Structure 1
Amino acid sequence: MFDLKGKIAVITGASSGLGRDAALAYAKEGVNVALLARRAEKLEELAKEIETLGVKAIAVKCDVAKEEEVKSAIETVVNEFGRIDILLNNAGVAVRGGVDTLNNDDWDKSMNINVKGIYLVSKYVIPIMKQQNYGKVVNVSSINAFLADKNDIFIRHSYNASKAAVLGLSQGMAASYAQYGITVNTICPGLFESEMTENTLFKSQEFLSKYNILCPASRPAKRGELNGTIFYFSSDASSYVTGQYIVVDGGLSIV
């Protein structure tokens, strides 16, 4: 049920962090991958690394907030592979600030990448999956969809709002597309080391100390600890699971 060998996966935000880790993890399971992100050079480097694992990888420069780039990217993937089995909507940004300090550009940046990006990529992938009568869509939200921080340094109201929107969008998609053999599920990670967090959260020893006290696991996540959940939602092990989310946070959200 967990066998992914030979599948075709599209991964957004693949140039770094959780997206890069997921791309390598998929490849090790025999998945051919299409890597989407804005930084072409990093994608090319990753594609070369992945192809040493014996699968095919293509690097496609794409800003998920720009419809023409998304449309072109998905056309490139289909021309290369002929189908899309898995879509991992991972691209995201975390903009700091509360509603009293955010400007319109900050707000729009969060919404355009974190929510509109999922909408646009899905807009062009879902029709392909409907034709196949098969597809696995995995959207990445965050525990910050339902948990907030009162510490001024880490207030991220636009991030909270955008990641909560991902949950609602995922449920709507799941209800509409299950009849076509498409499942749509969401992962809500807790604190993982990534490009997004290493220069902020991981540099604050005060924050990490408090986090380790509050979190039942007493530590942030290690690299790769999201991959098992990604595989579950990407495989036929979750064939009758749709519109759901799994929190991967070491228990932080239950205390």
Structure 2
Amino acid sequence: MARTVQQLFDLKGQTALITGGSRGLGLYMAHALGEAGARIMLSSRKADDLEQATAELQAAGIDARWIAADCAKEDDTRRLADETLQRMGAIDILVNNAGATWGAPAEEHPVAAWDKVMNLNVRGYFILSQQVANGCMIARRRGRIINVSSIAGLNGNPLGMKTIAYNTSKTAVIGFTRALAAEWGRFGITVNAICPGFFRTKMATYLIDELGEDNMTAGAPLGRLGDDEDLKGITLLYASEAGKHITGQWLAVDGGVSVVLGAA
């Protein structure tokens, strides 16, 4: 008998690991998964931010805890996976969200900054996905991996952003998502990407300050920035049994910006 919609979206008994989860998009996604019943492990570099975010989730009735780790560093990334498995058991859902950016014209962009962005935004996603898959998902023949890309990975340079490393890394995340989905489907692991547009987050603050919120929203058919509810639906779809036949895909959540820019 087919399950009901409520049953398909129910995450009770499942565990989700979310990197970059102490604020912004990662915390929005943590709320979505926790509200659906998942236990949450948050990670980011700063313990103080993680304590505040975990307290926020717990106040909402969500089973949440945290591990401080820098996913730009291989040892930290592997420790994060191993410690999560030790403390919480098998990981059902991995959200690769930790990210960095750097603003500079391409002709002036420091190579060290390029490496910093790539190490976190691409290399870190690969290492953690591999570690979690080998640690539990492959043996269990099931798992959900959600990679956070960006509409900056769909176009060359939306709104004239001077973020060559960031844009390139987010394009790479889409390719990584599709290639990994093709390889790991045989293990029952789905791999999908979300491409957020402009949300009111700390990472986007410099763009809001530089370009002005009116200019940023003027190009969006829906005429606004993303809010703390706008990633919940797609996150839950990718993570749950409702999305069990979706893999290797990306979806822009951007108020229609990418449609206007011709990428979608």
TM-score range, shorter chain: over 0.9
Is the aligned partner of 1:213 residue 2:221? no
Distance 2:248 2:40 in 1: 24
Question: What are the superposed Cα offsets for residues 110-134 of structure 1, whole Å, 9 maximum, x if unpaired?
Answer: 1011101101111211111101111
Structure 1: runs of 5+ lacking an equivalent: none
Structure 1 residues 167 and 150, CA gap change in structure 2 (3 angstroms): closer
- Alignment correspondent of 1:58: 65
Question: Structure 1 residues 150 and 21 mapped into 2: Cα distance closer, same or farther (>3 Å)?
Answer: closer
Aligned mates of 2:239, 2:252 — CA distance in 1 = 16
Decide which of 135, 138, 142 is 1:134's aligned counterpart.
Answer: 142
The runs of 5 or more residues in structure 2 that have no matched partner are: 1-7
TM-score by length of 2: 0.91
**Partner AA of 1:166 in structure 2:** V
Equivalence for 2:37: 30
CA contact (8 A) 1:65 1:120 kept: no
Contact 2:106 2:162 (8 Å CA) reproduced: no
Report the more deviating stretch, 10-19 or 217-226. 217-226
Distance in 2 (alpha carbons) for counterparts of 1:55 and 1:106:
37
2:85 is aligned, of 78, 88, 101, to 78
1:227 corresponds, among 226, 229, 232, to 232
Deviation at 1:150, TM superposition (A): 7.2
Answering whether residue 14 of structure 2 is matched by residue 7 of structure 1, we say yes
Query: 1:201 corresponds to which letter in structure 2?
Result: L
Name the aligned partner's letter for residue 258 of structure 2: S
Q: How many residues were matched structurally?
A: 252
Q: What CA distance in whole angstroms lies between the structure 1 residues aligned with 2:13 and 2:158?
A: 46
Residues 107-161 of structure 1, C-alpha deviation per residue, up to 9 Å, x if partnerless?
0111011101101111211111101111000000000002233766x31111110
Q: Does 1:112 align with 2:124?
A: no
Equivalent of residue 181 in structure 2, options 159, 174, 179: 174
* SS, match of residue 196 in structure 1: coil
Q: Matches of 2:231 and 2:56 in 1, distance apart?
A: 20
Contact 1:98–1:158 at 8 Å: present in 2 too? Answer: no
- Separation in 1, partners of 2:130, 2:155: 29
| Aligned residue number for residue 146 of structure 1 | 154
Percentage identity across paired residues of the two chains: 36
Question: More displaced, 241-250 or 93-102?
Answer: 93-102
Determine the C-alpha separation between the residues in 2 that align with 1:117 and 1:71.
Answer: 10
Letter in 2 for 1:252: V
- After TM superposition, which residue ranges in structure 1, 4 or more long, deviate above 3 angstroms? 52-55, 148-152
1:250 pairs with one of 240, 255, 260: 255
Residues 1:150 and 1:183: Cα distance change in structure 2 (over 3 Å): closer
Secondary structure of the corresponding residue to residue 65 of structure 1: coil
Q: 1:178 to 1:151 in 2, by over 3 A?
A: closer
* 1:208/1:54 CA distance change after superposition, 3 Å: closer
Structure 2 CA distance for partners of 1:48 and 1:214, relative to 1, 3 Å: closer
Amino acid at match of 1:158: A
Describe the SS at the equivalent of 2:95. Answer: strand
